[in-house]
Amino acid sequence: MKGNITKRGKNSWRLKFDAGRDEKGERKTQFVTFRGTKREAQVKMAELIASVSQQTYVEPHKLTVAEWVRGRVDHWEASGDISARTAERYRQLVEHQIAPQIGAKLLQKLRTLDIEEWHTTLRTGGRVRGKGELSARTIGHAHRVLGKAMRDAVKHEKVFKNVVALESAPKVPDEEMEIVQDVPAFVEKIRGHRLFAMGMVGLFTGMRIGEVLALRWGRVDLDAKVIKVVEALEETKAHRIRFKAPKSKAGRRDLTLPDALVDALREFRREQLELRVKLGAGKLPDDALLFSNLEGEPRSPSSASRAWSDGTGVGFHNLRHTHASQLIDGDVDIVTISKRLGHAKPDITLRIYAHLFKKTDAKAAAAINAALR
């Protein structure tokens, strides 16, 4: 491996060295400007030649952290690696938590100390509006987005190592999620609420709000007591409200229904049919949405979720957690719970609801054994 050093000015040197071969097999010559003493330039040259020999050399570039992460989010969305909703959330994290703090830094100059200081800055004053600390959970989300982008940077030889992976995100406090403790009492409390049927579906199937709002009557078999989940609603600023496939293949699933939910949906369907008769709308078509707006169009997941929580005091996603806790308390195996919730793998379910399995060591051990199988 050859190289030479040429003096360019006071304490300025041009390092010329062989950087291996390109894709066509032709030799590449690399030039690097270095500032320092001649001895320091010689040490730098030795390091560069050694990195080429060890196949750890990365060609210099001027990409900033913000430019790289923004580009990766665009690529992940375009390639289908993430959904439009996830891409929207990633971009919020980039613009609010990554770009303002370390976005201007050159990608190749990013170090573990920068990541440590970034975490500290976000903890002490990272809120977008107003002053105050940012939650460890949000910092963790931003950390994972940056880490994913840096893994791509290593893969595409933009950097030698992923410095984000070398620095841990702040630990999220072990807070137990909010669940409905007395389900029968809660059902009686919400009975008569205009979104009662929607809430019952969430409570007794564990479906996500987007999946519930995408339900059509043709996929609800009340005689067989089964709901077929085949799509979901997604709401983003870029695409507004649209139908999409479930988050994973496991999201397409058949859910058996308890009698309480079957009864609630029969009553809900009867009310809809009576209303259509009064309006002269005729028979309820199979492709009609269960929970549409007045025009029969899909409802906004965010507004429906907000209307539910405002009217009941319980977040709609908490119904999903409650359903999971019911299954765990009933000693349903983790694989079945995972399939019912539409998780891609049982270990995802176990990770989310680990604290619910801590009630007895036996239940936790049984869940882990099932997940490993």
pLDDT digits (tens, 9 = 90+) for 313-365: 999 999 999 999 999 888 888 899 999 999 988 888 888 887 777 655 555 55
Share of the chain above pLDDT 90, in %: 50
pLDDT for position 41 = 87
**Fold held by 183-372:** hpI Integrase; Chain A (1.10.443)
pLDDT for position 63 = 84
The answer to whether residue 95 scores a pLDDT higher than 80 is: yes
Asked whether the domain spanning 183-372 has the same topology as the one spanning 65-166, the reply is no
CATH number, span 65-166: 1.10.150.130
The answer to whether residue 26 scores a pLDDT higher than 70 is: yes
User: Which amino acid does the sequence have at 347?
Assistant: D
pLDDT tens-digit readout, 177-200: 788 989 999 999 999 999 999 999
Distance from the Cα of residue 124 to its chain's centroid: 24
Angle formed by the axes of helices 196-205 and 183-190, nearest 10°: 160
Can you tell me the mean pLDDT for 25-37? 79
Least confident of 19-28, 125-134, 155-164, 272-281: 125-134
Domain locations in the chain? Answer: 3-53, 65-166, 183-372
